[in-house]
Amino acid sequence: MRGEASRIADRVSRDSLAPKLRSSGEDAWRIGNELFTITNVLDHNIQLERALTDPSRPVEDKVAVLKTLIGEQSHPLTMEIMTDLVSRRWSRVSDIANAVEDFGVDGMMYYADHTNATLQVSVELAQLHSALLNLPVVRSKLYDATVPAEARIKLLYSLIGDADFNQVTKRLAEHATCNLRNRRYLQTIQWLINKLSRHMGESMVIVTTAKPLTDGQIDKLVAIYSAKTGHPVHINSVVDPTVMGGMRIQVGDEVTDNTVVAQLQHLQRTVKATA
């Protein structure tokens, strides 16, 4: 959890620069990628984080360090964001990397807005999340720090296969396994889904069934969960024949699993416990 100084720094910086990032259009893709790269560099260099967050060090010195780090090839707004961040006070040195990552995700979201793909990206991330729920071995390898990043990314794309995912979806999914940041893979994907949901002003409800939902079922679920959450929801219907029947419903981190396969697994555990 971030301290008070970091929360203030993050909020003020984002309030100041989010409008510029939002209006950057096509460039938001480049800026987001540059910020993800900087996040990774900071995560692997505590000395650099200390140099950029030391309150006793003049801002001019920190900007000089930034110029050495980023170079002249970065987008001007990337440099402006980083200059703003190093000028603020942070509760912990690692909090600046969190703020940089947040800006990177924002850049990707604004690029998705620019290309009219925001809802598509949110749905595709939810599909990836749902697919990994039943693949514990695969998802554990996606956040295994002992496995090289290149191998984790290769595993990710072998999982995605021929899915025609948007480039923003792929980049966010790749970032989640390339920049582990001491998080489990599904935790990061859910965090990204939640950010996109808040960005769109609605919640993502992932419903997994053995057969496609009917329009009537979707309308009923929308009504139920809109009332439950207090704001609009989007139903992402995922078809998975292996659940056999019933529904698995996920809203944020809350999962209600009433599928046939879940009930059979529960019965199997009960029988073993009483044997």
For 65-119, what is each residue's pLDDT tens digit? 999 988 778 999 999 999 999 999 999 999 999 999 999 999 999 999 999 999 8
| Lookup result for tokens 């555990």 | 269
Torsion sign (Cα): 239, 243, 247, 253: negative
Q: What is the largest CA-CA distance in the chain?
A: 71
| pLDDT at residue 248 tops 90 | no
| pLDDT at residue 2 tops 70 | no
Q: For the chain, give me the number of helices (H) and strands (E)? A: 13, 4
Are 131 and 141 within one domain? yes
Are 59 and 124 within one domain? no
End-of-domain residue from the set 155, 172, 201: 201
End-of-domain residue from the set 78, 94, 114: 114
User: What's the whole-number mean pLDDT along residues 37-55?
Assistant: 95
| pLDDT at residue 165 tops 80 | yes
pLDDT band at 31 (very low <50, low <70, confident <90, very high): very high
Range of the domain at 249: 202-275
User: What's the whole-number mean pLDDT along residues 124-136?
Assistant: 86
| pLDDT at residue 59 tops 60 | yes
Helix or strand run (H / E) with residue 203: strand 203-209
Are 93 and 126 within one domain? no
User: What's the whole-number mean pLDDT along residues 56-71?
Assistant: 92
Q: Please choose, from the candidates 84, 102, 80, the residue with its C-alpha nearest in 3D space to the C-alpha of residue 13.
A: 84
Comparing 87 with 205, which gets the higher pLDDT? 87
| pLDDT at residue 120 tops 80 | yes
Q: What percent of the chain has pLDDT over 70?
A: 99
Separation CA 10–CA 81 (nearest Å): 11
Separation CA 38–CA 32 (nearest Å): 10
Q: Give me the pLDDT at residue 237, please.
A: 83
Are 96 and 69 within one domain? yes
Are 12 and 105 within one domain? yes
| pLDDT at residue 275 tops 70 | no
pLDDT in tens, 228-238: 888 788 888 88
Q: By the 8 A CB rule, do 3 and 95 touch?
A: yes
User: What's the whole-number mean pLDDT along residues 220-247?
Assistant: 86
Separation CA 49–CA 33 (nearest Å): 19
Are 88 and 104 within one domain? yes
Are 147 and 235 within one domain? no
Are 89 and 13 within one domain? yes
Q: By the 8 A CB rule, do 54 and 119 touch?
A: no
Q: Give me the pLDDT at residue 72, please.
A: 79
Are 152 and 162 within one domain? yes
pLDDT band at 154 (very low <50, low <70, confident <90, very high): very high
Are 65 and 21 within one domain? yes
Q: What is the pTM of this model?
A: 0.81
Structural domain count of the chain: 3
Q: What percent of the chain has pLDDT over 90?
A: 61
End-of-domain residue from the set 88, 114, 140: 114
Comparing 266 with 225, which gets the higher pLDDT? 225
Please report the DSSP string for 217-266 in residue order. HHHHHHHHHHHHHSS-EEEEEEE-GGG-SS-EEEETTEEEE--HHHHHHH
Are 149 and 240 within one domain? no
Q: By the 8 A CB rule, do 208 and 259 touch?
A: yes
User: What's the whole-number mean pLDDT along residues 27-51?
Assistant: 96
Are 14 and 105 within one domain? yes
User: What's the chain's average pLDDT?
Assistant: 90
The mean-pLDDT minimum among 27-31, 60-64, 224-228 falls in 224-228
